[in-house]
Amino acid sequence: MSPQIEILVAGGGIGGLAAALATARAGHRVRLFERAPAFSEVGAGIQISPNVVRVLQAWGLQDGLQAVAAFPDALQVRSALSGRTLGRLRLAGRAEALYGAPYATIHRADLHQLLLQAVQAQPEVSLHLNSPVTLAEAETDGVALLTPQKKRIEGDVLVGADGLWSAVRQALLGVQPPRVTGHLAFRAMLPQTHLPAALRSTCVTAWLGPDLHVVVYPVRGGHWLNVVAIVHGEVEGDLAQWDHGNNASQLLAVLSDCCSPLQDLVRAVPEWRLWALCDRPPLARPEDMAQGRVALLGDAAHPMRPYLAQGAGMAIEDAHALCRALDQQAIDLPTRLRRYALNRWQRCARVQARAERNGRVFHATGPVQWGRDAAMALLGERLLDVPWLYAGDPLNPLPDA
């Protein structure tokens, strides 16, 4: 076990808790500061692919995951207009055989709770709610956070895991607001028993249509269904606060040309939440992830479009890689953090770029749509699988293509 490092973590989302867990398990002392009055996550689902499940298993979360997640049979891609199946990727059994871990889908609150409980079981972690913090100082021999009451909190290393609108990132890299994607996400969850049998599912289904797609998958041991519909559109107001209740009428208007099973599913959802999606361009250099004694992690470092379902996954991989970098006792802490960034930035940039490209392909019209559908029919699983990502080592900066 390496000598204890005093780690400060800003943010208690999936990324911050993952960082706290990984580093506390390695014997470091962690103080985590969350601006909200309680630890919570939005009521929506999340897909966690085998590369991420492997990390969670390494942290001893296998049984907890097994108890609350769903493990879909397959990913099926369907035309939102005709309902036709365009492609299919087997997941159950195949993911374990090829990538050493299952493909899971889970309620975000369940994953958050799993991480929180594991963190709370670590004696060297203290958790502080109602604590919005920012970077006060990063010197060669230490870092300091600042609370709104101007209280200084000192440590050896700061992990900025404070999300898309990160205050730590802003203090470190300057003000560069996130990019407005022009895409809106409608999200909902409902018990499968509230649906007619024909609409229930044990698969991840991606419905692709012109300028839209809808992703549906089971969570909570398969008892609930998560539905997310992405459409083109803009909203007004403060984008940092953009999460609002909504009903199906606006969504149904956009989906009016879609096939009846998809419209029936949308009609069956009693309540939606609406998000405006923002991201940042792919990381261009390791200095965007770590400088001196400050490291960024998760959405604070690389917020991405959700079209490869990897934002939280990359945050969890970051936490694993950060912990491994901090273990390298022969080098000083800034060099360890630089090594973390060097190990991570290209893989995260590649995932960011691929997610953006997926959005264009999912929403394609005309010849691109025709080519997409033809390629899926021809290549099937080979097109839908992502071996470099699912088999990839979170520490390998240049995964195989």
Q: Which is nearer to ligand FAD, 162 or 385 (CB)?
A: 162
Closest CA to 20 of 155, 210, 148: 155
How far is residue 339's CA from residue 312's CA, in Å, rounded to a whole number?
A: 21
Q: Single out the residue of 8, 26, 33, 125 in contact with ligand FAD (rule: CB under 6 A).
A: 33
How far is residue 277's CA from residue 239's CA, in Å, rounded to a whole number?
A: 9
Q: Which is nearer to ligand FAD, 42 or 375 (CB)?
A: 42
217 in active site = yes
Does residue 275 belong to the site contacting ligand FAD (CB under 6 A)?
yes
In this structure, are residues 273 and 246 in contact, taking their beta carbons and an 8 Å threshold?
Answer: yes
DSSP string, 270-309: --EEEEEEEE-PPP-SGGGTEETTEEE-GGGT----GGGS
Near ligand FAD in 121-140, by CB under 6 A? 131-134
Closest CA to 80 of 215, 182, 186: 215
Does residue 110 belong to the site contacting ligand FAD (CB under 6 A)?
no
Binding pattern to ligand FAD, positions 326-365, x when CB under 6 A? ----------------------------------------
Does residue 310 belong to the site contacting ligand FAD (CB under 6 A)?
yes
Total interface residues for ligand FAD by CB under 6 A:
37
Closest CA to 322 of 297, 285, 293, 352: 297
Does residue 392 belong to the site contacting ligand FAD (CB under 6 A)?
no
Binding pattern to ligand FAD, positions 153-172, x when CB under 6 A? --------xxxx--x-----
**Residue carrying the six token digits 């960082």:** 19
Given the residues 103, 217, 340, 390, select the one marked as catalytic. Answer: 217
Does residue 228 belong to the site contacting ligand FAD (CB under 6 A)?
yes
How far is residue 244's CA from residue 178's CA, in Å, rounded to a whole number?
A: 19
Distances (CA, A) of 303 to 90, 99, 255, 365: 28, 25, 27, 26
Q: Which is nearer to ligand FAD, 170 or 328 (CB)?
A: 170
The SS3 call for residue 333 is: helix
Closest CA to 5 of 342, 288, 343, 322: 322
How far is residue 273's CA from residue 267's CA, in Å, rounded to a whole number?
A: 14
Closest CA to 46 of 293, 215, 184: 215
Does residue 36 belong to the site contacting ligand FAD (CB under 6 A)?
yes
Report, in angstroms and rounded to the nearest whole number, the Rg of the chain calculated over CA atoms.
21
Does residue 61 belong to the site contacting ligand FAD (CB under 6 A)?
no
Q: Which is nearer to ligand FAD, 185 or 389 (CB)?
A: 185
Q: Hey, how many other C-beta atoms are within 10 angstroms of the C-beta on 274?
A: 20
| Binding window for ligand FAD (CB under 6 A); candidates: 10-18, 190-198, 206-214, 357-365 | 10-18
Near ligand FAD in 178-207, by CB under 6 A? 185, 187
Does residue 15 belong to the site contacting ligand FAD (CB under 6 A)?
yes
How far apart are CB 160 and ligand FAD at their closest, in Å?
9
Q: Which is nearer to ligand FAD, 209 or 311 (CB)?
A: 311
Does residue 309 belong to the site contacting ligand FAD (CB under 6 A)?
yes
How far is residue 138's CA from residue 10's CA, in Å, rounded to a whole number?
A: 14
Q: Single out the residue of 5, 7, 8, 11 in contact with ligand FAD (rule: CB under 6 A).
A: 11
| Binding window for ligand FAD (CB under 6 A); candidates: 4-12, 190-198, 250-258, 389-397 | 4-12
Does residue 222 belong to the site contacting ligand FAD (CB under 6 A)?
no
Longest CA–CA span in the chain (Å) reads: 63
Distances (CA, A) of 142 to 9, 156, 250: 14, 5, 51
Does residue 35 belong to the site contacting ligand FAD (CB under 6 A)?
yes
How far apart are CB 159 and ligand FAD at their closest, in Å?
10
Q: Please give the positions annotated as active site.
A: 217
- Which residues bind to ligand FAD, rule: CB under 6 A? 10-16, 33-36, 46-47, 131-134, 161-164, 167, 185, 187, 228, 275, 277, 298-300, 306, 309-313, 315
